[in-house]
């Protein structure tokens, strides 16, 4: 945000004073959220589950920078009431989060605060120009613990069943007891981190960013890509668990729990992105061919 807001005001020398509200808004935003970012950087962003938060922040800054010309070109039609309401909601959520020590709420207040600032200082056109960066801030919000607990259990069960079925069919001596996999002399617990929920969240952020940058003209193309994000993330996580099981079986428990365990996380990301790019390429070919066939007939 720091390199964006001042660029939103008029750029002529005679109108330079109109940038003052943006500088004030920027200073207020920095005073509110720099402590939040610092707390996250020394806390939740240090964990595997929420390590993507810092990346989302960096991408969001870049997205706002790319949207600056569109915001500057938007008609000057401030919407004080709507902007004030959104800003007030954001401030209320922020202070509840800060007072209660709930970092998730403080982070969650950002889209409301930024949307309120854009509406109040420039108008609906500015919010339309920057709608994706504003929405993208949602991916910075950590998933609530209760939601994670409710979803993680079923995901671990499904992944355990699928992994055992796949490896058993190709001849590996594998079985399971709940979410504990037994292969050879080794036992492996499909832990919460292996459920794939947080990887689905981070991959959803990557997938939506890719779709926004690609800007495919076909509504059907975009709809299929959007619907594919979670299934692709789930399949990629199955590949990750299979890799970990095979590493443990062939190279021992130390290899499975050591460096190669972290490398399996990279495998997940690469596999998911490969599936996503391949689907995008395939849809592009099929939809173009279908459109050409329709035009020819």
Verify whether residue 122 is a known catalytic residue.
Answer: no
Q: Are residues 130 and 159 in the same domain?
A: no
Distances, alpha carbon 23 to alpha carbons 19, 77, 111, 126, 288, in Å: 6, 19, 19, 17, 47
Q: What per-residue confidence (pLDDT) applies to 211?
A: 87
Q: Are residues 177 and 227 in the same domain?
A: yes
Judged by DSSP in three states, 11 sits in coil
Total structural domains in the chain?
2
Q: Which of 80, 215, 240, 289 is catalytic?
A: 240
Low-confidence ranges of the chain (pLDDT < 70): 1-18, 149, 191-196, 255-265, 289-297
Q: Which of 122, 140, 158 is the last residue of a domain?
A: 140
Q: Which of 122, 169, 194, 289 is catalytic?
A: 194
pTM over 0.75: yes
Q: What per-residue confidence (pLDDT) applies to 65?
A: 93
Domain assignment of residue 275, given as a range: 145-296
CA 146, 147, 148, 154 dihedral sign is: positive
pLDDT, tens digit (0-9, with 9 covering 90-100), for 219-233: 888 899 888 888 888
Cα–Cα distance measured from residue 116 to residue 132, given in angstroms and rounded to the nearest whole number? 15
Q: Which two tokens stand for residue 139?
A: 């991916």
Q: Are residues 16 and 124 in the same domain?
A: yes
Q: What per-residue confidence (pLDDT) applies to 271?
A: 80
Alpha helices in 101-144 (DSSP H): 103-108, 110-121, 124-129, 131-136
Verify whether residue 169 is a known catalytic residue.
Answer: no
Q: What per-residue confidence (pLDDT) applies to 204?
A: 85
Q: Are residues 154 and 285 in the same domain?
A: yes
Q: Are residues 154 and 118 in the same domain?
A: no
Q: What per-residue confidence (pLDDT) applies to 155?
A: 83
Q: Are residues 149 and 289 in the same domain?
A: yes
């Amino acid at each position: 945000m720091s390199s964006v807001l001042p660029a939103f005001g008029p750029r002529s020398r005679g109108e330079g004073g109109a940038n003052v509200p943006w500088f004030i808004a920027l200073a207020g935003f920095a005073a509110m959220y720099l402590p939040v970012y610092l707390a996250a950087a020394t806390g939740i962003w240090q964990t595997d589950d929420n390590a993507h938060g810092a990346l989302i922040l960096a991408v969001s800054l870049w997205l706002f920078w790319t949207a600056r010309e569109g915001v500057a070109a938007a008609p000057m039609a401030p919407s004080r009431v709507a902007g004030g309401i959104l800003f007030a909601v954001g401030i209320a959520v922020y202070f509840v989060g800060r007072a209660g020590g709930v970092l998730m709420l403080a982070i969650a207040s950002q889209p409301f605060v930024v949307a309120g600032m854009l509406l109040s200082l420039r108008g609906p056109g500015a919010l339309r120009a920057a709608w994706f960066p504003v929405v993208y801030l949602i991916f910075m919000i950590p998933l609530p613990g209760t939601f994670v607990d409710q979803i993680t259990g079923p995901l671990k069960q499904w992944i355990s069943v699928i992994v055992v079925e796949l490896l058993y069919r190709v001849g590996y001596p594998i079985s399971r007891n709940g979410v504990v996999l037994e292969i050879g002399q080794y036992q492996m617990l499909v832990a919460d981190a292996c459920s794939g929920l947080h990887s689905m969240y981070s991959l959803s952020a990557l997938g939506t960013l890719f779709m926004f940058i690609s800007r495919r003209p076909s509504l059907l193309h975009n709809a299929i890509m959007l619907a594919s994000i979670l299934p692709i993330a789930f399949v990629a996580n199955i590949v990750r668990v299979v890799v970990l099981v095979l590493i443990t079986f062939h190279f021992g428990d130390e290899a499975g729990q050591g460096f190669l365990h972290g490398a399996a996380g990279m495998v997940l990301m690469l596999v998911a992105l490969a599936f996503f790019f391949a689907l995008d390429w395939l849809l592009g070919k099929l939809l173009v061919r279908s459109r050409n066939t329709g035009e020819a007939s």
